Amino acid sequence: MEHEYERKGALNLMAAFNTRTGKVYGQCYERKRQVEFIQFLEYLERELPAHVTRIHIVLDNLRVHKGKQVQA
CB of 48 closer than 8 Å to CB of 40: no
Each residue of 10-64: pLDDT tens digit?
A: 899 999 999 989 999 999 999 999 999 999 999 999 999 899 888 888 888 888 8
Distance of CA 10 to the CA centre of its chain: 16
Give residues with Cβ within 8 angstroms of 50, minimum separation 6: none
> What's the pTM value of the predicted model, to 2 decimals?
0.82
Q: What pLDDT, on a 0 to 100 scale, did the predictor assign at position 5?
A: 67
* Between 8 and 51, residue with greater pLDDT: 51
Q: Is 12:36 a contact under the CB 8 Å cutoff?
A: yes
HSE on the CB side for 64, CA within 13 Å? 16
Q: Which of 12, 44, 49 is CA-nearest to residue 28?
A: 12
Identify the residue with better confidence: 6 or 30: 30
